Structure 1
Amino acid sequence: MRIRNVPVLRLFLGFDKRKQRRITVLIGAFLFLVSLHFILKWDASNHESNFANLDIDIPENFVPVRVTEREPLPVSGSSKIPKIIHQTWKDVDVPIQFSDWIKSWLSLHPDWEYWLWTDSDAEQLIAEKYPSFLEIFKGYTQPIRKADALRYFVLYEYGGLYVDMDMEALTPIDPLTQKYSCFIGQEPYEHPILDTNFEKLLINALIGCRKGHPFMKMLIDSLPAYSIMWNYLDSTGPHFVTSVFRQYEANVPMLEDDDGFVYVTPSEYFYPFIDPDKLKYMFSLCSDHQKLTTLQLKACRNLKFKYLPENSIDLKEIAFTNHHWYHTYLRKMFSTADRYVSIYLLIPRVKTYNLHKP
């Protein structure tokens, strides 16, 4: 490899020692991130199958945390949320690997509208309708924070269904929208317990809500106070949503027929499979069960129970969607050959902010 006919090695040796060290550190950090990614991905399916062989006892009276069938849902009726699918990306050229997942939504929801929110749309919406938040919004240094915050404003302002681009529709979601005016999913039971030793982590990768819902308003109103948080999970993401929801349910009558009700679905509805990036870590943690907390031991038993052949079920019979856990915000650090396709080729009737605003 040459740069303007100068060998790379000679170019590197031409720098002073300080610059050479900086370049070496940067290259080392890059290689570490790439290696870490593939280590986490390595042999995930093997670890999944090995959970059944964990050296952990399962008491006879053990009750697993999972659902094995859907709840009774309407088979017809009007939707309690607007039939709008919202997705976000930096511009109208989206990663080609998302193509089939994006198209799955319109394929299974042909009578729904599809709106794409770009970075410029997002800033324009905030500037025009929520100017007091614009400085904080523009101050978010990570795109994921802007993408997180935007979905709460969009759902409060217009209502509909927000879905991340790595979410694939498996069956129509209409039965849920005919029963609930606001719903949100939670991560697989084992995720928060084995990561941070607490139960029930809400996740904002899919949210359905009517326009003007008080929970969306509370999320919007809480963003400034949480903006100082160091990690995006705490400032705008799942930890933020979970924290605000706990405050919300403590102060609002959470009755199903109440106007402010928020339904937290079983994880199997939207997130039927564990994030494959976590399987190796989970298997390692559960293998050393003498060091586990009581809650973590329960989660490991839950994993073993679910992966025992006699307890297997077809999760896709229960799930409305499949989350592919693509982690776009992490992949950007080492992605060098992304390919993109215009959203207008995927969804010819796509709407953007300037085309649907009043």
Structure 2
Amino acid sequence: MKTMRSSKTRTNVFVVCCVSFLVIYCVNQYTKIKELKRNLVKTLENDEKIEETSYFMKENMSSYEVFQSYDAEEFPTVLNGPTRIPHIIHQICHSEDIYEIFQDPISSFVENNPTWEYRFWTYESGRKFLNRHYPYLISIYDAFGGNDVRKSDLLRFAVIHHYGGLYADLDVKNWRSLDIATIKYACIVPTEPFEHSAFIYKTEFILTTAVLLCRPKHPFFKQALINLQLANKDGHPVYVTGPLYFTDIYKNYNSISEDDYGRRKLDNSSNSPYFYKGTLPEDHNDAVYVPNSQYFMGDIDVNLFDSTSPQQSFKICNEPNEFALSGKDLELTYRACHEFEKRKQLRKERKFTFTSHYWYHMWTFPEAKLFNLKRIHIKTFIPSCVLYK
């Protein structure tokens, strides 16, 4: 009798422990997913914050030029023109098992572009690809180590250079067909929102690496790859392979110097941003077209609303005189606040938007924080995806 009672007690304890573990697991899973989705939710909630920061801008900043046109316009294209950028979608993850939170944005590209080829890359398959086509980059690729995001940066430049097509981060959602974006221009590289470049980087523009479209073998991406041979394996991703590195390559490629700050573009055939982009016509086969941000990169990182540093957030738009700003920094701040005000309607309506970036910043999360997130194999929901072997 005692043995039966003892056995039953152990069973009850085991059941309680299992249930407790499942409860804790579910709570952790929910908490992590909720934290990751906060950017998407806050993007929809930012309208109130936009209104809160508007008064000072309306009264004081209208005399400062915005960075680009804020009129809603369809993306420039050529009616019945030939395709210049191949219809291939490239996405990258450290393995074929992706976090379930990315399933919706990934699926959006396939659903809106059913005739496009979808290629999925991992760090392992990417290394095989590099070893075959770009062996001079294997050394630095390996030096980055583990699941380092700098591998993803290097790999995206390589696959776009080799195959052409579109690359998008996993936290980028596609809203409509990309077909018309592949006709007029040979290479398309968006900027981050100009509020980012002004508030965070204190410069006129910063190119993004989250969305890229280009023809194969473009000399701009060749230059980006060649220079990576000298990358600092211990450096910060933003500077070594990310937006700041990419922007420097763009400036060198187009012979843009510090003296060109504030200089206007030479080609006014489209609604591209106003800054100087070099001498090549926008539709030249070797040019890099920088589109108006309403198309690919119009969404602001919500951290700019919550930043603890007022000089890197929209708090500075309310009372800029409280901060020690002068010269170029002051002008950039006023222009960015004016830009923010003028683009509110565009950002709400997304009338001609191709993609939205949710700014999850997954690469900044420690692996322990991501360990329990549910994963799903890419073939489960994109069975037609091409995996490099």
The bucket for the TM-score relative to the shorter chain is 0.7 to 0.9
Give 1:197's aligned amino acid: K
C-alpha contact (below 8 Å) 1:85/1:162 kept by paired residues: yes
1:94 matched to 2:98:
yes
1:107 matched to 2:141:
no
CA RMSD of superposed structures (Å)? 2.8
Q: Distance in 1 between matches of 2:143 and 2:295?
A: 35
C-alpha contact (below 8 Å) 1:54/1:286 kept by paired residues: yes
Structure 1 residues 62 and 85, CA gap change in structure 2 (3 angstroms)? same
Q: Distance in 1 between matches of 2:209 and 2:343?
A: 33
Partner of 2:215: 210
Q: Distance in 1 between matches of 2:169 and 2:57?
A: 37
Give 1:323's aligned amino acid: H
Q: Distance in 2 between matches of 1:330 and 1:310?
A: 29
Partner of 1:351: 386
Q: Distance in 1 between matches of 2:353 and 2:299?
A: 10
1:340 matched to 2:375:
yes
Partner of 1:69: 72
Structure 1 residues 112 and 277, CA gap change in structure 2 (3 angstroms)? same
Structure 1 residues 270 and 89, CA gap change in structure 2 (3 angstroms)? same
Task: After TM superposition, give the deviation of residue 229 of structure 1 in Å.
Answer: 6.4
Partner of 1:170: 175
C-alpha contact (below 8 Å) 1:87/1:165 kept by paired residues: yes
Identity rate, percent: 26
C-alpha contact (below 8 Å) 1:53/1:304 kept by paired residues: no
Task: After TM superposition, give the deviation of residue 68 of structure 1 in Å.
Answer: 2.0
Q: Distance in 1 between matches of 2:138 and 2:206?
A: 28
1:119 matched to 2:153:
no
Runs of 5+ unmatched residues, structure 1: 6-33
Task: After TM superposition, give the deviation of residue 345 of structure 1 in Å.
Answer: 1.4
Structure 1 residues 99 and 229, CA gap change in structure 2 (3 angstroms)? same
Q: Distance in 2 between matches of 1:119 and 1:264?
A: 29
C-alpha contact (below 8 Å) 1:51/1:307 kept by paired residues: no
Where do 1:290-301 residues align within 5 Å? 290=321, 291=323, 292-301=325-334
Q: Residues 291-339 of structure 1, C-alpha deviation per residue, up to 9 Å, x if partnerless?
A: 2334444454455546659963444113211111111102345334311
Give 2:381's aligned amino acid: L
Q: Residues 201-246 of structure 1, C-alpha deviation per residue, up to 9 Å, x if partnerless?
A: 0011111111111011000001122335621111100101000010
Where do 1:1-358 residues align within 5 Å? 45=46, 46-54=48-56, 57-66=59-68, 67-70=70-73, 71-141=75-145, 143-227=148-232, 230-250=235-255, 254-281=280-307, 282-290=313-321, 291=323, 292-302=325-335, 304-305=337-338, 312-313=345-346, 314-332=348-366, 334-354=369-389
Q: Distance in 2 between matches of 1:55 and 1:134?
A: 49
Task: After TM superposition, give the deviation of residue 250 of structure 1 in Å.
Answer: 1.5
Structure 1 residues 132 and 310, CA gap change in structure 2 (3 angstroms)? closer
TM-score scaled by length of structure 1: 0.80
Runs of 5+ unmatched residues, structure 2: 1-13, 15-31, 257-277, 308-312
Give 2:306's aligned amino acid: K
Aligned residues: 319
